[in-house]
Amino acid sequence: METKIEQEIASPLAKRVEKERIKIIDILRGFALLGIIIVHVVEQYYAGDNSIFAKNTPLDIGISIFLGIFVVGKFFPIFSFLFGLSFSIQIENAAQKGQKYAGRFLWRLAILMAIGFVHQLFYRGDILMIYAALGVALILVHKLPNKVLLIIALALVFNIIGLVGRSVDAIRDTFKEAPKQEQTTQNQAPTKEQQAEMEKYQQENKAYFDMVKAGNWLEIAKTHVVKEIEVKMQFQIGSGRLWLTLGLFILGLYAGRRKFFENMQTSLPLAKRIFKYSGLYIIFALVLVGVIMGIFQGNPPPLPWLMWLGGTIFDFANVALPFLYITGIVMLFQKAKWEKILVWLYPVGRMGLTTYVMQSILGTFIFFGYGLNLLGEVGNGITLLMALGIFGLQILFSKWWLTLFHYGILEWFWRSATYLKWQSFKK
């Protein structure tokens, strides 16, 4: 069933652009952007330790727990998966036209890096620069056989590197000499080095908060470039997000090759199995975490193998839940009633890059000192409503915009710069 926005597209170029798109992919991208703005607005675009301004009311704590389980870190994987999928579609389209695409894609990534750099000036949590850097790997692996791609992707998304590292740490710590009785781990004070590191971290966190509240945009932008890019990369590597993102790129490439979203009727049985097993794992993980918390509610020191178990549960959940969402939406989209609801995400997904950057520019203006300066002034209940309200306005704006133009503003610029030729913009 066509939406109104599709019926309004009349020009030959618009019809070609529309035909080349797979609607469910843009809907999934729109859904990912919904989760991303919820996380970013609730954390007030601080992209870091918000304990310095977090409210501790029951509502705020409850929202934090819910978002921590079901939202935080669960939507950027969808965005990353779709990035690899889009690359696969672009490669196939170029091949059908007899064009070489590797060089053009590298240039396309360079432009994305530039867009990400500008975005970084506003928001230190930018992911576009990371996407541009990791995207090079897609060129290196895109000719590998499907089975090899799948093995590499799964090894990365399930963070085998982190799993091995935690296993080594757990084995090493298990065989360490037990501490003396009079110096129990529970009451053991941190070392001077640990204390100094904690104080340094707290001072840096306070300094960033004060700078953002002061509202000097030039100072904020300089800090985001000179210091925060390095801090971000340390976090990406240390947390395993870098490997997860790369794995999702490759998994998206694999799904594109298998035409998972183009042959939906053929893919539905697989989608249902992924949905089923992802759901079962999430239930298992929640029950297991609840049991562990119940047993150790006295807050003892983390045991080596308890740390290993916690890290593994977390890594697997960061894969299972996003794919539970993806396959759930795919199955719902096959139902006429749900299609009418989900199609509202289509315009905002088509303008994914513009939407993402617009969210950050608007969000930082709302919370930082050079704008409304609401950082630390409101709780999670209000910020959650703000996120939903902003995203609702973005849906309406995107729907209106695409009745007048072929692309979002950044999509048009990215496409024009890629081909070094101004693309048709206005309908």
CA distance 285 to 293: 12
**SS3 for 371-427, per residue?**
CCCCCCCCCHHHHHHHHHHHHHHHHHHHHHHCCCECCCHHHHHHHHHHHCCCCCCEC
CA distance 86 to 108: 13
Per-residue confidence (pLDDT) for residue 2, from 0 to 100 = 44
Burial profile 190-212: b = 16 or more Cβ within 10 angstroms, e = fewer? eeeeeeeeeeeeeeebeebbebb
Q: Other CB atoms closer than 10 Å to residue 304's CB: what's the count?
A: 17
- Residue 405's DSSP bridge partners are 426
CA distance 89 to 104: 14
Angle at CA 110, nearest 5°, toward 348 and 83? 40
Digit-by-digit pLDDT tens for the chain (427 residues) are: 444 444 443 344 444 444 446 899 999 999 999 999 999 999 999 998 888 998 889 999 999 999 999 999 999 999 999 999 999 998 888 888 888 888 899 999 999 999 999 999 999 999 999 999 999 999 999 999 999 999 999 999 988 887 877 777 777 777 764 454 444 444 456 677 778 888 888 999 999 999 999 999 999 999 999 999 999 999 998 888 999 999 999 999 999 999 999 888 889 999 999 999 999 999 998 888 877 777 766 565 566 777 777 778 888 888 999 999 999 999 999 999 999 999 999 999 999 999 999 999 999 999 999 999 999 999 999 999 999 999 999 999 999 999 999 999 999 999 999 999 999 999 8
CA distance 374 to 385: 14
Task: Indicate the SS3 state at residue 245.
Answer: helix
Q: Is 140 exposed, middle or buried (0-12, 13-18, 19+ CB in 10 A)?
A: exposed
